[in-house]
Amino acid sequence: MTFDVVYGLSPLLVVALGALLLMLAEAFGKPNPQGLAPTGEVSDAGAGRAGELGMGAAVVLFVGAALSLGVWLAGPDNLVGLELTRPYLIWDRFTVFVCFTLCLGGGLSCLLAGGYLTEHEIDRAEFFPLVLFSTVGAMALAAAGELLTLFVALETMSLGVYALVGLRRTPRSSEAALKYFLLGSFAAALMLFGAALLYGATGRTDLAGIGQAIAAIGQGEGPGAAQVLIALVLVVVGLAFKVSAVPFHMWTPDAYEGAPTPATSYMAVAVKTAAFAVMVRVLLIAFGDERLTSWASGWPPVLATLAVASMTVANLVAGRQSSVKRMLAYSSIAHAGYALVAVVATIRSPAAEGSILFYLLTYTVSTAGAFGALILCGSRGKEAVSYEDLAGIAKRHPAAAMAFSLFLLSLAGVPPTAGFFGKLYVFQAAIDAELYVLTVVGLLNSLVGAYYYLRVIVFMYMREPAPGATLAVPMRSGYVASALVIAAVLVIALGVLPNVTLEWAAIATVGRS
Amino acid sequence: MSPATKAVFELVPYLLAFGVGALIPRRQGTLERVAIGVVAALSLALVRGLWPAAADAATPAVAPPEEWPHLLNVIVFVPILGALFVLFLPRQTPALLRRVTMGVLGLDLLASLMLLRVPMSRGWHFQYVVDWLPSFGIRYHVAIDGVSLWMVLLSTVTTPIAAYVSFGSIKKRTKELCFSILLLHGAMLGAFVSLDLFLFYVFWELMLVPMIILIGVWGGVEKIKAAYKFFLYTMAGSVLMLAAILYLVWTHKSLAGYATFDYLALANVVLPRTAAWLCFGAFALAFVIKVPMFPLHTWLPDAHVQAPTGGSIILAAVLLKLGTYGYIRFCMGLFGGPAWSAAANLAGLAVGGGILYGALVAWRQDDIKRLVAYSSVAHMGFVMLGLFSGTRPGVEGAILQMVNHGISTGALFLLVGVIYDRRHTREVREFGGLAKVMPVYAAVFVLVTMSSIGVPGTNGFVGEFMIIMGTFVSLPLGSHGGLQAVLAAFGVILAAVYMLAVVQKMFFGPLTNPKNAQLSDLNVRETIALAPLVALIFIIGLFPSLFLERTRDSVQVVLERYTEGRKSFQEMDPSSTVARLLPRRGGALETGYPEPPGQVDAKPPDPSTPEAEAALDPQQGQP
């Protein structure tokens, strides 16, 4: 029994333990005299040790990913002891798949940070414990089967990220952090309000119980039905904030741009993945009632509108950006739109849940890779952020440009990369669910998206830097390079031989009734 | 006679050709001599391959040589692996990179010549099927028939020429150039041989990036705009095609119970009217953009003018053929009904917008390359007209004309590149009287022009004649067929007008511009590149049956599918919204048909037992 629980929850436990250890190491370790800031100021003991701590954090997260794989192979259903954690944590195949994705995304971000923080002399090694704690929250969020757990997990995840955004202490970074914090708290408050209403209407806090109670309320005209609807709206809005769907996306570009790039990468991949996981679970388990999943009287048209708005607005705005980082921020909003298409498709297609998971996995490796390539293209004092910075870089640094192109092509969904299969799976699920209009809108949007991804490639390969402009000098960092290699291998492997992963994603369902 | 001696005897003609090629030209270095010799030997191999083997004629009982199933894999993946290999070669050794690229392309050409050893009877040849993503029903399924055979050969012949020409004029960033050419080559070949729609789509999209790099990195002044335009046009067509593919697959799955992307299986799906029209539209849009047909042709002149010579040759000779090939294979094969009903209108567009308008616009161009690009629009109009006619001579002529256009337009772009390398301008008025300073160049240009406008004895005549003949008797075009044939014939005259006008302005008359007085004639590299094309112009022009014989049976199959699709489409109740699945035809045409999962090697289970139904239908077992 105990073994089952410990083994089953091992990804979560290992990351939590690792976070504690890293925190101690960061607090009591010896500062590295070589890596101090030029002023000699010692802000904390972990100063100058970003590289080592980053490596440690990445190892912890990759171990977490490996353990997720182990749990998957053992089969969470076979670990009967895991029943103990229900309904607070539902540790099924869906959760384990998401945990793997989260650990992978977090690990890649930590590797990137190991190079980035050192290069840009940001002596804030608390980055790594924060990422780990936040990942713990994200994993718990993906597993949450009960409203209070859900809220605690959501806050655990978010608090870490708020701090990550403000890590730099530049005005820009602080502004971004404040914006994100305010809007994020607002969204959390909305969700909490929705949860309270749900509890009032149904008397339950576990999702499955809420689902049954809502089914029992049924078609009623009583106060319960209206309360459930209001709760649904509040919860959907709160979740839409977290996945940054249009029109709840206003914080995203600023927060993504202001944050240090590895933190951006972490936000883009892990936070979004966890938010989608919890969205699927809440919508399908708590609001999985026949009436609420119908096109006429439930959440599907709302989410479909959010999906169309996210894809269209984000893609159009992304094309107008002059900063690559900001473009990638908008692109992450657009990708949330594609994933929302799959969420809508869950109402009629059993394959849709798997398509969301697979999509999030491909999105994680491509986005982390793209941010990593952007990090690689800049060095101390010359961070590459705009298109102009990247002009002609392919001639000077072909490997960096090639890697960047690979991830962009994957984001654009050009075969044979991971991103293409992710999109294909999502749109196939949408066709299965007979959502033809959504599919066509999504595909046309991926055409618009391809334009601005291509623009980066055009700048890298076909333009020359303006005369007199400062040339971006790529950094040399084993950490960033290894993160890129891992991501690139995954992008190609998931693009050419995705079969096993596809089959696994297909059986990872939330087990709706 | 032992096999070894026989093999030596077989080699003698090639060695002779090599010797002759290597010895005749004077004042050349050893390397160039060897290169000329190799080209001569390869050309001979090509010509000999085309002819029905004399030995077989003497002993007709000899069974056709066995088909090596991996041959297509070799042809497709040698360039792709070569591209990856090039990535690991040092950037500082351009000569090595060029030689590796030419070596890989030459190897590919030799491998593709092996395809000619098998007579192209009905059905698929060199078929190779293996599961790729069984959970999605996606397989790696490649095969050729008499239609794709020529497309494969066209690309394996023209890409080395384009690469060779590029290496002459492009000296910077050789590594990227080699990588792009090889990847593009592999992707094009893959698209021509795929019989799985997913595989086809992967290769189709894979072509985009290297082509954009070819245009955008080594192109002219407006290269970036041209690259964007090319990318967006092509992508716009292909995303809708993806939607249609997914819809077809889903329909097949709901009818037959298992998912498959296989062409053979999807060809049996009869969609209800609206869906059929929409899916046909999505496929046709993708192909028509690629062809390109009026009014979606506007990317082509930009792409051609901005692309480097090598890129233009590949674009004109092979890439545009993917549109027409796709139309034959997928639009006519999968959606016979809508294709038949739309044929008359589309043919009008091909004649009016392509042949006539294209020719008139070409006439008004001052830039020679732009002129050739618009002439391309006109020629592709002929090809599409032949396809729309839906008659045997029309379709055979269209396939032949696809090859012809690849050869003659490829050669024209090459010739334009030659003069551009010397003068860095392509304005017609800059030239005049060039025949006096560049006699060989002028002669070759005139010859290729003759081929392009379809003078009898050259390849262009055969193709255009067959297309016009096919249009005249065409059934789907109905009463308009005659008019369209006449207008198309008028288009041939227009072609003569604009091509001969430019020839007259450039090569004859007084040598007015003093800058042209010192121009040198064709050099060795250019001659080597042009020689096979010129040879092919005459071979096809004088012996078209070599080509037509190999396409005949396959065209028959294409037309059978086409009429069958039309029949089942018209039999369907117009108000019906239910798709149907045709019974399997069986036979050579459906070898490699995707079996439902679980009964690949077992005999078909008895459908009356419940287990068998569950085995047939695992997807629907889930709630």
Q: Do B249 and A428 touch (CB under 8 A)?
A: yes
Distance from CA of B248 to the nearest CA of A (A): 10
A-B interface: how many C-beta pairs under 8 angstroms?
86
Is residue A358 situated within a structural domain? Answer: yes
Q: Do B249 and A462 touch (CB under 8 A)?
A: no
Looking only at the bridges linking them, the beta strands covering B138-144 and B269-270 are unpaired
At a CB cut-off of 8 Å and minimum separation 6, what does B210 contact?
B179, B180, B181, B183, B184, B187
Q: Do A450 and B231 touch (CB under 8 A)?
A: yes
How far apart, in Å, do the first and last CA atoms of chain B sit? Answer: 69
Q: Do B239 and A444 touch (CB under 8 A)?
A: yes
Tell me the pLDDT band of B65, cut-offs 50, 70 and 90. Answer: low
Residue A137 burial (10 A CB sphere; 0-12, 13-18, 19+): buried
Q: Percentage of residues in chain B with pLDDT exceeding 90?
A: 20
Answer yes or no: are the C-beta atoms of A103 and A12 closer than 8 Å: no
Q: For the residues B205-214, what does the mean pLDDT come to?
A: 89
Tell me the pLDDT band of B58, cut-offs 50, 70 and 90. Answer: very low
Give CA–CA dist B354/B229, Å, rounded.
20
Tell me the pLDDT band of A46, cut-offs 50, 70 and 90. Answer: low
Q: Is the pLDDT of residue B617 over 50?
A: no
Tell me the pLDDT band of B60, cut-offs 50, 70 and 90. Answer: very low
Give CA–CA dist B364/B350, Å, rounded.
20
Q: Is the pLDDT of residue B25 over 70?
A: no
Instruction: Among A231-235, B93-97, B292-296, name the most confident range.
Output: A231-235
Write the residue in A443, A498, A506 that is nearest to B242 by C-beta.
Answer: A443
- Residue B27 has what pLDDT? 55
- Residue B24 has what pLDDT? 65
Q: Is the pLDDT of residue B54 over 50?
A: no
Find, in chain A, the residue whose alpha carbon is nearest to that of B239.
Answer: A443
Distance from CA of B305 to the nearest CA of A (A): 17
| Averaged pLDDT score across all residues of chain B | 84
Helix axes A272-281, A93-119, angle to 10 degrees: 160
- Residue A36 has what pLDDT? 52
Q: Do B235 and A447 touch (CB under 8 A)?
A: yes
Distance from CA of A501 to the nearest CA of B (A): 10
Residue B603 burial (10 A CB sphere; 0-12, 13-18, 19+): exposed
Between these two residues, B219 and A493, which has the higher pLDDT value? Answer: A493
At a CB cut-off of 8 Å and minimum separation 6, what does A221 contact?
none
Bridge partners, residue B142, by sequence: B128, B194
Is residue A512 situated within a structural domain? Answer: no
Q: Is B77 helix (H, G, I), strand (E, B) or coil?
A: helix
**Which CA distances in Å does A350 have to A291, B236, B261?**
18, 29, 20
Tell me the pLDDT band of B618, cut-offs 50, 70 and 90. Answer: very low
- Residue A33 has what pLDDT? 61
- Residue B615 has what pLDDT? 41
Amino acid at site B116: L
- Residue B605 has what pLDDT? 43
- Residue A66 has what pLDDT? 94
Is residue A85 situated within a structural domain? Answer: yes
- Residue B619 has what pLDDT? 43
Amino acid at site A227: Q
Q: Is the pLDDT of residue B614 over 60?
A: no
Q: Do B243 and A439 touch (CB under 8 A)?
A: yes
ipTM of the complex: 0.90
Answer yes or no: are the C-beta atoms of A438 and A307 closer than 8 Å: yes
The 10 Å CB-count burial string (b at 16+, else e) for A418-454 is: bbbbbbbbbbbbbbbbebeebbbbbbbbbbbbbbbbb
Q: Is A144 helix (H, G, I), strand (E, B) or coil?
A: strand
CB proximity B386 to A under 8 Å: no
Answering whether pTM is above 0.95, one says no
Is residue A513 situated within a structural domain? Answer: no
At a CB cut-off of 8 Å and minimum separation 6, what does B42 contact?
B106, B109, B110, B532
Q: Which helix (H) or strand (E) holds B41?
A: helix B30-50
The conformation of residue A84, written as its DSSP 8-state character, comes to G
Q: Is A476 helix (H, G, I), strand (E, B) or coil?
A: coil
**pLDDT tens readout for residues B527-581:** 888 888 888 888 888 888 888 888 888 898 888 888 888 888 888 877 777 888 8
Is residue A439 situated within a structural domain? Answer: yes
Range of the domain at A338: 3-507
CA dihedral B95, B101, B105, B106 (to 10 degrees): 30
Answer yes or no: are the C-beta atoms of A415 and A494 closer than 8 Å: no
Distance from CA of A461 to the nearest CA of B (A): 7
The three state secondary structure string of A17-43 is HHHHHHHHHHHHCCCCHHHCCCCCCCC
**Which CA distances in Å does A420 have to A303, A382, A413, A425?**
23, 33, 4, 9
**pLDDT tens readout for residues B485-525:** 888 888 888 888 899 988 888 888 888 888 888 888 888 88
Closest CA to B532 of B21, B19, B2: B21
> Which residues of A are less than 8 Å from B202 in CB distance?
415-416, 420
CB proximity B422 to A under 8 Å: no
Q: For the residues A337-353, what does the mean pLDDT come to?
A: 90
How far apart, in Å, do the first and last CA atoms of chain A sit? Answer: 26
Give CA–CA dist B212/A375, Å, rounded.
26
Looking only at the bridges linking them, the beta strands covering B580-581 and B125-133 are unpaired
- Residue A277 has what pLDDT? 94
Tell me the pLDDT band of A18, cut-offs 50, 70 and 90. Answer: very high
Write the residue in A398, A409, A447 that is nearest to B239 by C-beta.
Answer: A447
Give CA–CA dist A502/A357, Å, rounded.
9
Q: What are phi and psi of A477, to 5 degrees?
A: -150, 125
Give CA–CA dist A473/A485, Å, rounded.
20
**pLDDT tens readout for residues B442-473:** 889 999 999 998 888 888 888 888 998 888 88
Answer yes or no: are the C-beta atoms of A344 and A438 closer than 8 Å: yes
- Best probe of the B interface among A435, A499, A507, by most B CBs < 10 A, is A499
Closest CA to A428 of B541, B137, B448: B137
Q: Is the pLDDT of residue A274 over 80?
A: yes
Here the contacts of B593-597 (C-beta below 8 Å, separation 24 or greater) are B593/B262, B593/B264, B593/B265, B594/B137, B594/B139, B594/B258, B594/B260, B594/B262, B594/B264, B594/B265, B596/B256, B596/B257, B596/B258, B597/B134, B597/B137, B597/B258
Is residue A361 situated within a structural domain? Answer: yes
CB proximity B246 to A under 8 Å: yes
Q: Is the pLDDT of residue A483 over 90?
A: yes
Q: Do A415 and B201 touch (CB under 8 A)?
A: yes
- Name the domain count of chain A: 1
- Residue A266 has what pLDDT? 94
Give CA–CA dist B31/B219, Å, rounded.
29
Find, in chain A, the residue whose alpha carbon is nearest to that of B174.
Answer: A395
Give CA–CA dist A494/A499, Å, rounded.
8
Write the residue in B175, B208, B243 that is nearest to A414 by C-beta.
Answer: B208
Q: Is B478 helix (H, G, I), strand (E, B) or coil?
A: coil
Q: Is the pLDDT of residue B613 over 50?
A: no
| Averaged pLDDT score across all residues of chain A | 87
Find, in chain B, the residue whose alpha carbon is nearest to that of A420.
Answer: B202
For chain B, give the number of residues.
Answer: 623
At a CB cut-off of 8 Å and minimum separation 6, what does A399 contact?
none
Closest CA to A395 of A349, A460, A484, A318: A460
Alpha helices in A218-351 (DSSP H): 223-243, 251-258, 261-266, 272-281, 300-318, 324-345
Q: Percentage of residues in chain A with pLDDT exceeding 90?
A: 47
Answer yes or no: are the C-beta atoms of B128 and B73 closer than 8 Å: yes
**pLDDT tens readout for residues A450-477:** 989 998 998 888 888 877 777 777 888 8
Q: Do B216 and A461 touch (CB under 8 A)?
A: yes
Q: Quote the Cα angle for A155-A157-A161, to 5°.
A: 105
Closest CA to B600 of B287, B295, B258, B346: B258
- Residue B326 has what pLDDT? 92
Tell me the pLDDT band of B280, cut-offs 50, 70 and 90. Answer: very high
Distance from CA of A428 to the nearest CA of B (A): 6
- Residue B182 has what pLDDT? 93
- Best probe of the B interface among A461, A501, A502, by most B CBs < 10 A, is A461
Q: Is the pLDDT of residue A510 over 60?
A: yes
Q: For the residues B306-333, what does the mean pLDDT come to?
A: 90
- Best probe of the B interface among A393, A397, A447, A451, by most B CBs < 10 A, is A447
Q: Which helix (H) or strand (E) holds B130?
A: strand B125-133
